[in-house]
Amino acid sequence: EAQVTQNPRYLITVTGKKLTVTCSQNMNHEYMSWYRQDPGLGLRQIYYSMNVEVTDKGDVPEGYKVSRKEKRNFPLILESPSPNQTSLYFCASSRTGQGANTGELFFGEGSRLTVL
């Protein structure tokens, strides 16, 4: 089954304690992306990756890091989480073409993060 898998689905942590949210896709997609969703602010893009070892900032990258060492995995790293990073996080993937993510976007189930 084609899917995007995120872990953990729920996490409560404390300020400053480094954490990683993993994302894996089994569709051989070149493009992967991270979003956060907050009430009243909608979906905002954090980082994206066009292929292995190629990443770029989205609209709200501050406080986050990513890496793309393998095509299927795109982990989101919070080096020193703060309460304003409490949010619902989504990973997505798609094919690429014409220099853009032109394929259908597939989303993971989401990871709800609370930073105390």
Using CA atoms, how far apart are residues 45 and 109, in angstroms rounded to an integer?
A: 16
42 vs 69, beta carbon nearer another protein: 42
Q: Does 71 participate in binding another protein (rule CB under 8 A)?
A: no
Burial (Cβ within 10 Å: 0-12, 13-18, ≥19) of residue 21: buried
- Cβ-based neighbour number of residue 59 at 10 Å: 11
The CB-of-18 to another protein minimum distance in angstroms stands at 25
Q: Does 112 participate in binding another protein (rule CB under 8 A)?
A: yes
Site for another protein in 2-61 (CB under 8 A): 31, 33, 42-43, 45, 48, 50, 56, 58-59
The CB-of-43 to another protein minimum distance in angstroms stands at 4
Site for another protein in 81-110 (CB under 8 A): 88, 90, 92, 96, 98-102, 104-110
86 vs 96, beta carbon nearer another protein: 96
DSSP states of 55-113: EEE-S--TT-EE--SSSSB--EEESS--GGG-EEEEEEEE--BTTB--S--EE---EEE
Which residues sit at the interface with another protein, rule CB under 8 A?
A: 31, 33, 42-43, 45, 48, 50, 56, 58-59, 88, 90, 92, 96, 98-102, 104-110, 112
